[in-house]
Amino acid sequence: MAMRNKEIASIFNEIADLLEISGENAFRINSYRNAARAIEDLSEDIAALQAAGKLSQIRGIGDRTEKKIEEYLQTGKISAREDLLKKVPHGLVTLLKIPGMGPKTVATAWKQLGVEDLEGLVKSLRTGQFEKLPGMGPKKIENIKKGLDFITRSAGRKLLGIVLPIAEEIQESLRKLEGIKKVEIGGSLRRRAETIGDIDLLIEANEGEKILKKITEFPQVREVLSLGETKASVRITDDIQVDIRVVPNESFGSALQYFTGNKDHNIQLREIAIKKKWKLNEYGLFEDERRLTGETEEGIYAKLGLPWIAPELRENRGEIENANQLPKLIEQADIKGDLHMHTLASDGRCTIEEMIEGCIAKGYEYMCITDHSTSSRVAGGLDPDRLKEHIRHVRQAGKKYHKDIAVLMGSEVDIHLDGRIDYDDALMAELDLVIASVHSGLGQSSEKMTHRLLAAMDNPHVRAIGHPTCRLIGQREASEMDMAAIINHAVETNTWLELNAHWMRLDLKDVHLKQAREAGAKILIGTDSHDIASLDNMRYGIYTARRGWLETKDVVNTLPRNEFLKLLKK
């Protein structure tokens, strides 16, 4: 049975939307959203947790929600949802996605005009019925029309690897602006989340209003969504929204904390403040009117009795409860080598020597060339004869550069549908490192895929499993598999699991890395580079590793050369 976590999470979000449109109690609605978030964050199959009776142990899931999940897993329905849908049209949920349309507007349009879906809304706008709604004026109408236009053309969330470089460029150009003392990137970008909704920028300046006005007049700005004394929102090219917040020096730390989020982490901190009879907001931590602290993030966390928490951990995934036993997170400088890359021999765009020089430039102590195997025909996979020739070439190049870097000869070998490996054992014995990856039959059942990966790990030559779930973020779902079984088997067979650092993959993903670390599995971070420039993608691997709570010792390619080379054989 396929994992139903996402499906169930979205049902709870939908129930929350329906309840909100029908004017239910806001806290109850919040509970549904919290439950949905908790389910989205699960690394394990919700059905397995339900069967083990572990659902109610999850924070945010109580008796009532547990019952609903059980009902859904058994019958495919939740009666509470069915009842709600008899009252509230399902099509209204879509209307909430329009910027500027909230639950109140949707509810009045529904009750007073009979609007039940997107089509009905468009019609009521066209016929002029819509402007007859109470509190509705020409500006609001215009705004909603723009919002409607936006959701029809917008492609949704963007990938970290696309947006972060853009944000960093904007950051640099703003830093040069007069009157601006500091510019920091906040929000999901600072937390290095795999997908990004918008760019959040925090500015330290004294004359906020002036600065914001100046920024909204930049030529890159396509549309000004709002402009006030302390914050502004604009849209730039590619429909990227930029939210800008300006605060003075004494509030910079608290504002950065607020603006980094995530929202649930913020609420947790604010609740700690409340318990101490204080108030936390973006301007500082206050006892009545008196500011206790606010200049730095460290100061805020310290006053609340917490160590500073790395932004990558601020997801309300246990970082506050475990604040005093947080891992010492891996850093970019800890990486001693890149172990997954392609060359012209298969589908890469650079020569062996170019890739070697790229790795030397990164300061690595070792590297590994891993071109594709026979069955990856479209990717120029090497048949045994070509592999043998490639081995000679890589060894030769290795000799030339041996003073600067240890060049390992490996392969990214296909795992066949039944778990057999594309090269025979004798051939693999000639390689320093075999990463085995699935490139076909991605839609296999969870049972088959799990069995396939376990079988691959049983091969003594298979040192690591490449991009284990085969997802392409926003394009292709992860293949179904029993992650707990795979992680356990990786530990048992002493097989490494890859964290593929390409920002389209980031596979294993953060919550799976955390699960792997807890089970004692070892991770290999590889860029899967197809050219020199992509070697830079290691940064995304590090960010994701940190989001997965990984320490240096969890990652094999942090070991110094001599120690690492000893581990090449399982």
Partner DNA sequence: GCCGTTTTCGGCCCGACTGTTTTCAGTCG
In the complex, what is the shortest distance from the CB of residue 233 to Mg ion, in angstroms, rounded to a whole number? 8
* Among 279, 291, 386, 561, contact with DNA (rule: CB under 7 A): 279
What H or E segment, with its residue span, contains residue 106? Answer: helix 103-113
**Under rule CB under 7 A, residue 210 binds DNA:** no
* Among 32, 72, 110, 259, contact with ligand DGT (rule: CB under 6 A): 259
Instruction: Give residues 16-35 in contact with ligand DGT (rule: CB under 6 A).
Output: none
Instruction: Give residues 232-251 in contact with Mg ion (rule: CB under 5 A).
Output: 243
Beta carbons within 10 angstroms of residue 117's beta carbon: 16
**Under rule CB under 7 A, residue 143 binds DNA:** yes
Joined tokens for residue 70: 């059980």
Instruction: Determine the straight-line distance between the first and last CA of the chain, rounded to whole angstroms.
Output: 33
Cβ neighbours of residue 89 closer than 8 Å, sequence gap 6 or more: 110, 116, 117
Instruction: Give me the 235-254 binding string for ligand DGT, x by CB under 6 A, dash otherwise.
Output: --------x-----------
Task: Give me Rg for the CA atoms of the chain.
Answer: 26
Cβ neighbours of residue 218 closer than 8 Å, sequence gap 6 or more: none
Rounded distance between C-alpha atoms, residue 304 and residue 295, angstroms: 14
Q: Please tell me the count of residues contacting ligand DGT according to CB under 6 A.
A: 14
437 binds, among Zn ion, Mg ion, DNA, none (CB under 5 to 8 A by kind): Zn ion
259 binds, among Mg ion, Zn ion, ligand DGT, none (CB under 5 to 8 A by kind): ligand DGT
Instruction: Give me the 171-200 binding string for ligand DGT, x by CB under 6 A, dash otherwise.
Output: ----------------xx-------xxx-x
Q: Is residue 556 within 8 Å of residue 564, measured between CB atoms?
A: yes
**Per-position DSSP letters for 313-346, written without gaps between them:** GTTTSSTTTTGGG---B--GGG--EE--B--TTT
**Under rule CB under 7 A, residue 228 binds DNA:** yes
Please say which residue, 174 or 508, places its beta carbon nearer to Zn ion. Answer: 508
Joined tokens for residue 306: 């917490």
**Under rule CB under 5 A, residue 437 binds Zn ion:** yes
In the complex, what is the shortest distance from the CB of residue 165 to DNA, in angstroms, rounded to a whole number? 20
**Under rule CB under 7 A, residue 380 binds DNA:** no
**Sign of dihedral through CA atoms 305, 307, 310, 312?**
negative
Please say which residue, 197 or 248, places its beta carbon nearer to Mg ion. Answer: 197
**Under rule CB under 5 A, residue 198 binds Mg ion:** yes
Rounded distance between C-alpha atoms, residue 143 and residue 558, angstroms: 52
In the complex, what is the shortest distance from the CB of residue 188 to Mg ion, in angstroms, rounded to a whole number? 5
Please say which residue, 131 or 271, places its beta carbon nearer to ligand DGT. Answer: 271
In this structure, what are the phi and psi dihedrals at residue 200, rounded to the nearest 5 degrees?
-110, 120
In the complex, what is the shortest distance from the CB of residue 447 to ligand DGT, in angstroms, rounded to a whole number? 35
**Sign of dihedral through CA atoms 454, 456, 462, 465?**
negative
CB-closest chain residue to Zn ion: 437
Q: Cis link prior to 344 (omega < 30° from 0)?
A: no
Joined tokens for residue 251: 């509030």
Instruction: Give residues 60-99 in contact with DNA (rule: CB under 7 A).
Output: 60-66, 80, 98-99
Q: Is residue 251 within 8 Å of residue 231, measured between CB atoms?
A: no
* Residue ranges binding Zn ion (CB under 5 A): 437
Which residues contact ligand DGT by CB under 6 A?
187-188, 196-198, 200, 243, 258-263, 266
Chain contacts with DNA (rule: CB under 7 A): 25, 27-28, 30-32, 34-35, 56, 58-66, 80, 98-106, 135-141, 143, 147, 187, 198, 200, 226-233, 241, 243, 263, 266-267, 270-271, 273-274, 279-283
